[in-house]
Each structure stands twice: as C-alpha cells, then as structure tokens.
Structure 1
Amino acid sequence: MGLKQELTEKLERHGQGHLLQFWDDLDDERRKFLATEIASIDFGQLDRLIVEHVRGDDAAAAGEIQPVQVDPIEVVRMPQTDAERAARRRATEAGEEALSAGEVGIVIVAGGSGTRLGYNGPKGTFPIGPVSSASLFQIHAEKVVALGRRHGKQPPLYVMTSPENHATTVKFFEDHDRFGLDHVRFFLQGQMPAVDRETGKILLAAPDRLAMSPDGHGGTLKALAAPGEEGCLPSCLDEMGGRGVRTLFYFQVDNPMVEIADPTFIGLHRQADAEMSFKVIEKLTPEEKVGVVVTVDGKPQVIEYSDLPKALAEKRSEEGQLAYWAGSIAIHVLECSFIERLIGVHRLPYHRAIKKVSYLDPAGQVVKPAEPNAVKFEQFIFDALPESSRYVIVETDRAVEFEPLKNAVGPDSPATVHQRMSDLFGGWLEQAGAVVPRRPDGTVPFAIEISPLFALDAHELKSKIDPGLVVERPIYLR
C-alpha cells in the first residue's frame, strides 16, 4: 500500500481526508513533512474533543459551576504573630535543606512570543531590567545562580520552549554563556491541531503543514515525561531522577518578581507531604483577571475568573474581604512522583479556546479571518490540583512577587513592571539603612535595580551597603 493510500484511509475514517488535497502538488520532502505531522496526531482523542467542544453544546453547559458546590479553600496566610513567624522559619529551614541536598529542580514555562508587547522574539528575551535592560531570562537565571551560591548546589534549570521559539531561545542562552548556569536543558511543548469551529475539520496552514498550536501550560507535565532530542536523550523527568531531584518549582517566564525556589514555600510543601502546592495572592476586586483557588464538592480546584459565577465573585465576608480571594499566580511546587503518576494513569482535561487562525482554502489561498474561526485545545496545569492527595496553598505578597509582563502599555506592561521592581528594590535599600525618596503615593521616583548576583534578598543586601547611603538617582547594583 502506498503512503498516500495509507494516509487517505486513516484520515477518511476520522473525517479529515481534506488534509491531502494538495498532496499531488508536493515534492517528496514536503510530503514526508506532512505525513509526519499527521502521524503525530492522536485522532481518537481528537475525535472525542471535537464531539465535546465543537459539535456538542460544549462543556460550558455540562460543567457549569453551581454556587452551592463551591467553598473557600484553606490558605496558609502571611504570618501575623510570633508563633506564625516561628513556624515560617522552621519551614524555611526545611526548604533550605532540600536545596542544599540538590533535591529541587526548576521549570520555566517559556513557549510564548512577545507579540502583545510589540516585540519580535521569545518573551523570555524581552529586556525588562529597570536600569540594566536585562532580559527576563537573565534575571531568572541569575536567581538560580545565586541560589546555588547560597545553598552549595545549584538547582538544575529546565526551560520549556515552543517549536516557534526553541532555536532562538537556545541560541540566546548560548550567546550569553548560559548566564553562568551549571545545568540548563530545553524541552519542547506539545502541540494540538486547530480545527474549524463549525465543522471540526483540521485547518491547513500551508499545503504541507497543519495549523498547529501549543497545547497549553498543562502540557508541561507531558513534555517533561517525553523522550528528548528525537529519542536520543532520557526524558527530563528521568534525568531529574538520576540527579536526585524530587521536587520541582514551576513558574512562567513573564513574571520577573518570582522568588524562584523560595525555601519557605518548598518547606511548607514538604512539611505537608504535599504532591502539588500553589502560591496565591489576595484578589483586590471581583473583576481581577486571575483564577481563584477554591474547593468544589470538597476537592481543591481552580476556577478561571471568567467562569466564576458573579454571585461568588462578589461575595464578601463580614469584614468586607472577598470570600473567594485566593488568586492563582502560576507559581507551583510539584513532586516528580506526582507528575509520573499523572502521566501514567490520568490525562488533564482539554479546554477549548475560540481564536482567529489563518488557513488555506480549497483554492490554495491564505485566508486571514476577521472573526474567530477556530477552536484550539489547551490543557491547564492547575487542573492537576484535584488529582493531588495532599496539597498546601500559600499566600504571598503581590508587591513582592507578582507583576507579570503581558501588554505593551497599561496594566502588566514594561512601565508597571519597572515601577514594581524599583519599589521593591527601594524597600530593600531602606531596610539596609539607605535613604530612598518616595512620591506621595509611596512609589520610587526613578529606576532602581539590584541583580540577584549582588543580593538575592533584603537580608543579604544589608551586609553589602553602608547604612546612611542616600539614593538620589537611578542605581543598578551588580
């Protein structure tokens, strides 16, 4: 049986025979590429997703959250008493022991581009240092290097890329001598085909190419377990096991404020014998666009802000605080054994996203739709939480640890990130005895930046500057 006939029979069984409509116009190399893309698709799974998310009424109706099912989740709040501060110190010591033993690895999700920033390149290469213009990648990498200096063992770093930015990301690290990292490994995020929102037909991006899109940050877990470099390397998870890594610290590249491998968070996770843990911030308004960690029918779960019923989003306690306030900020700790169990026996659910996707029409012309025309299928890492037998949810201070970079202007933009970083570092300097001017609203009037290689936190900074220092202009300590 010839290749075309074999592919035709397979595709026709799933109603996708149109994918070969340009086959006779392709040369052997392009036919091989198309055949490889088709072979990468789990059509049985795709058929189920199309029935559920395209041809059916969608999960929005079947899985709608009812207010009676939902309760606030228990959170380890910011310490307020001496006893709570002492408990935090014990947790910090437990986390420091894990770091010193080399049992912690770090995962950065970095498959995105800088399109929304008006930037041509992987988002991790965006220059965000308030004074230095250091990239997101540099800031994160320097934190990892500084952790190694402090704890005697540098945690291995794993960077998840996408097919679109993989080569550029690897080259960026190589061009900067890997920022001094002892071990960094890049692994590819999985992809799913985009389908027409009316028919469920897979869209063609070119005569020899399917319209593929990343499978969501939940795909990180499957990608960690996948063999590397065309099967020539062990999976990242297997490699971690060989290095003695038990616990993974996970975050997304666009937040330069993350306290990477925070020993207190790791210690709280380990003290609870947890399989997966979350950091959360207090939502300030019902409309804030962060998912909320709750319990549904007694099980932990994250509800996206867009799916939280209005009555719950606006509900307040007697003290006036939002009842459902625990906002997820994509900072997690997971046990490697938990990831292995999930990959082995359970698949995270897929969610649908309605998007505009350019495609090839039957005449071979590229169509750029004016309205959303396609369904993309994505997994979310927070859907692993209900599968964990034990977990801990820990509050953090948004002023210290959360200011993501998403937009060119307005909220979550370079301007807001620069200000938040400068305010944080200004506070460190003040704690060390320096004098830092402030505007009436408490913000710092100029850029301040402290490299992790100079000081990883306010306590370390105290030993490196003279009390009484007056900061009168932009300053970068490195």
Structure 2
Amino acid sequence: MTSPPAELAARLQTHGQEHALLGWDSLTSEARTTLVQQLEALDLAELATLRERANATEALPTQFEPVPITPATFTAEERARGAEALRRGEVAALLVAGGQGSRLGALQPKGMFPAGAISGAPLFQIHAEKVLATGRRYGHAVPLLIMTSPATDAPTRVFFAENNNFGLAPEQITFFQQGTMPAVCPRTGKLLFEAPGKLFLSPNGHGGTLTALADSGALRALVARGVKHVSYFQVDNPLVKVLDPGFIGRHIAANSEASSKVVGKTAPGEKVGVLVSANGRCSIIEYMLLPRPLAEEREPTGELRFRAGSPAIHLFSVAFLERVTRTAAGSLPYRAALKAVAHFDPQTGQSVPTPKEPNAVKFERFIFDALPHADRWLAVETLRAEEFAPIKNASGADSPETARAAQIALHTDWLRRAGIDTHGHAVEVSPLFALDAEQLAEKLRGSEPVKIVEPTVFK
C-alpha cells in the first residue's frame, strides 16, 4: 500500500483527524495496513459526539429510591432448584478478566496474581477450581467463558495451557476478547497514538461483554448447549461464590432476567456503585454521583438508606442476553474518563511522557447499564465477609492483605462450624476440597480428629 485510501483521507479531514496519516511514508507496509484497518473501523462522528459529552455532568435519574433487597438466606427449595439447574447443565460461568495488575505492580493479567491466603494460588486457579468443583459436585461439567482484552488475551491463554486448564477440559473453556475504543485529546478531540502508526486503544469496559459475547459466537454456542443462565463475576474477587445454587434457584423461581448480589456499604463514601430503583427499573448510581445528603441518609435501624453496594456479581438469563445484544447493547452509553497517559505525537514525531494533568479521554461501557433493560430483576444481599474481598490496590483497602485476611477468616469460620479449632493458625480451604461450610463438614465428618498446629491448606 503506497498511499492511504483517498476515501479514508477525505473522511479524516472532514472530522479534523488528518494528523492520523502524518508519518505515513516512514511506516512499513505492514504498519500501513494495520493503521488503515484501525482507522476504517472508527465511527469518527460518534467519537466526536462522545468527546463533546465527556465534559457534561452525568444526569441522575429523575426519581429513584432504595432498591428492594432480599437476604441471601436461601430456602432448601431454592437451593434444590439451583442444584437441579446445575445438574442439567443450564448454567455457565462468565469470568471478566480484561484487566492488568498495574496497580499491583505487575503488567500481566490480573488473574495471574497470587491470591491464595497460604497457597499463593493465582486468581485464575481459584475461580477455575470453583467451576471444576461445582461440576464434580453436581455431575455436569460447567462451561467457563473468559473475557479477555487485547492486552491479556495471549498471556491468559498461555497461562491456562501451561497449567492444564486447572483441571478443566479444553472444551469447557471459551476465551473471547472485549472490544477497544480509541483515546482522544480532551481539548481538541484528536486521536491519540501509542506509537508511530498505532492508535492508542483501550478496552471498552466490562459492558463490552455483551457485544463481545454475541460477536464472538459465544452466546450462540451457549444456546446450542442448552445453557439458560450465566453467572457473571470479575477476576479480582477471590471470595465470590461463582455458581451459588441458592442464588440460581431464587433467580429461576422469580423468572428474573437479571439478578444482582449486593453488599451493605460500610460508609457513605465507600467507592462502590449503589443499586437503586428508578421508575421501577434496576439501576446503579456511581458512588461519586450520589448526592452526599442521600449517601449519608440512614434508616431508623442505623443502616444507610442507600446501602446496596454492587460487588459486580450478577446472574443473567440467556434469553435476556440475546435480547439485549439484539437491541440495547449498541445503545449502552459510553462513559468518559480523563486519564494522564504517555503517547506518541505524530505532528512532532516525538514521544510524550505521562503528564501531571489528564491529557486523554478514554471511553468505556459498563455492564450495569444493561440492568435497566430487564423487565424482571432481583437484588439479593450477601455478606461481605462471605463473598466480597476484591484485590485492587497494592496496599491498604481492597489489597492482597485484606483479601488474604478475609479468606482466612471465612475458612476459619467454616472449620469452627465443623467443630475444629484452628488455634489461631491461618487456614485455607481449596475449592477442590470444599465449596462451602456444609461441604467441608461433610468431608471431615467421620474422619480422624483434625488438629491444626501450623498454617494449613485443605486440598
């Protein structure tokens, strides 16, 4: 390709993006082809509109109230209903794993981060073994879908292959990539570049799961397998109950299209989105948008009135996902975030180091923006100590230290309920040994007395 396509050059000029072809003559033929493909895939008019909206204040729903919550104390009937769905192969697990562990000091897929309290098992292993153990428990292999990003796809696939898929059969696992969006200058709207001839592209957010599921054929394959429900969770939470039979059973009994677990907020300013009911629809308001008086408002019991924090644990019906990807996914809003990034300037031919002030607008879609499209929905409160200990920061809140402490506390409680004293020693229960306190007690019942005299992993 000796010169850029005339139609593309004209379109770039129309939208003030002609700088994208600067340096064309110095690019290799392969780089030119890649650049043309990237540019032709862009909707430049939409990009301009998104950039203009980036400076606008996001509007709250005109009317909203606290979401109705049911407790995660499931009946025997609900648990049995969920277990039967698992036995029939009607449930799949969806792991969102597009992020890198940059805040944890490692530019690799976050799922490779060692998270086991004693074993140091990586997050991918913890989640995969929960899927494997669930399949063994109910006699039917559970499909595991793993959404990656361009940055994490190849290393994630290699990591699973090197570890024999953590015991899962290759046909159980489906990898698919989320899409990307270009970053632009917040002042001029001009496209940013990562390197000569290479656009600065970022993953399009966990909301990109929806279109990626459909575009990759993964959703169609689930339908062909008879899967009716998809359990959605994020890679950074080692405590998540990946395939909770009680939650599944309640979701089915209510004929819910989208069911979400919530955790009680620990403080008005905690940085988690809040589920609300807006005009009879389930919605999430991001923590920074909830007005402070409402965030601080309390019930007579002392609980926060708007306390339904989202740990990003959802259960979707496949029929709902099919409908949303046919109609609503394309209209899920892009949300803009200002970031400071290093980039390449094609006008000067120089690399620009990361500035102190934001110099880029990134665009993402969020999975919770699909929730208002559900006609029937549930919010189920789970205990933070049992199901929410995300690893997001290198230290402090939501760090490896807090996640390790939460795992040890939970598994210590499981053993206590089974009549075993840990004598203050750290313990960890592998999902392959037990998925919950009840299964742990069954495993230990009738066995030799267990005495814990050092840090112990039950596996």
What's the offset of the Cα at 1:43? 2.5
Q: Residues of 1 paired with 2:125 and 2:426: CA distance?
A: 18
What does 1:240-389 align with in structure 2 at a 5 Å threshold?
A: 240-346=222-328, 347-361=331-345, 362-368=347-353, 369-389=355-375
Contact 2:281 2:375 in 1 (8 A): no
Which blocks of at least 5 consecutive residues in structure 1 are unaligned? 80-84, 228-234, 438-444
Q: Report the 3-state secondary structure (helix = DSSP H, G, I; strand = E; otherwise coil) of the residue aligned with 2:71.
A: coil
Query: Which residue does the alignment assign to 1:232?
Result: none
The amino acid that maps onto 1:31 is R
Give the counterpart of 1:139 among 116, 126, 132. Answer: 126
Which blocks of at least 5 consecutive residues in structure 2 are unaligned? none
1:110 aligns with 2:92: no
Q: Residues of 1 paired with 2:47 and 2:82: CA distance?
A: 42
1:210 aligns with 2:186: no
Give the counterpart of 2:394 among 401, 408, 423. Answer: 408
Give the counterpart of 2:68 among 60, 71, 74. Answer: 74
Query: Which residue does the alignment assign to 1:441?
Result: none
Give the counterpart of 2:139 among 146, 149, 152. Answer: 152
Q: Residues of 1 paired with 2:193 and 2:315: CA distance?
A: 38
Contact 1:433 1:467 in 2 (8 A): no
Q: Residues of 1 paired with 2:232 and 2:306: CA distance?
A: 24
1:469 aligns with 2:456: no
Q: Residues of 2 paired with 1:201 and 1:421: CA distance?
A: 46
TM normalised by structure 2 equals 0.95
Q: Residues of 1 paired with 2:51 and 2:287: CA distance?
A: 25
Q: Residues of 1 paired with 2:268 and 2:34: CA distance?
A: 48
Q: Residues of 2 paired with 1:2 and 1:367: CA distance?
A: 27
What's the offset of the Cα at 1:2? 5.8
Contact 1:107 1:160 in 2 (8 A): yes
Contact 1:65 1:308 in 2 (8 A): no
Percentage of pairs with the same residue: 46
What's the offset of the Cα at 1:463? 2.5
Contact 1:73 1:300 in 2 (8 A): yes
Q: Residues of 2 paired with 1:72 and 1:89: CA distance?
A: 28
The amino acid that maps onto 1:93 is A
1:226 aligns with 2:215: yes
Contact 1:433 1:468 in 2 (8 A): no
Give the counterpart of 1:174 among 161, 165, 168. Answer: 161
Distance change in 2, residues 1:50/1:120 (3 Å): closer
Give the counterpart of 2:116 among 129, 134, 156. Answer: 129
Contact 1:106 1:261 in 2 (8 A): yes
What's the offset of the Cα at 1:215? 0.7
Contact 1:197 1:373 in 2 (8 A): yes
Q: Residues of 2 paired with 1:376 and 1:259: CA distance?
A: 32
Give the counterpart of 1:92 among 79, 103, 113. Answer: 79
Contact 1:220 1:381 in 2 (8 A): yes
Contact 2:60 2:285 in 1 (8 A): no
What's the offset of the Cα at 1:370? 1.9
Cα RMSD between the aligned structures?
1.5
Query: Which residue does the alignment assign to 1:82?
Result: none
What's the offset of the Cα at 1:344? 1.4
Q: Report the 3-state secondary structure (helix = DSSP H, G, I; strand = E; otherwise coil) of the residue aligned with 1:226.
A: helix
What's the offset of the Cα at 1:349? 0.8
The amino acid that maps onto 1:117 is L
Give a deviation string over 1:309-358, Cα, whole Å, max 9, x none: 00110001112111111111100011122122112112211111111122
The amino acid that maps onto 1:208 is G
Q: Report the 3-state secondary structure (helix = DSSP H, G, I; strand = E; otherwise coil) of the residue aligned with 2:175.
A: strand
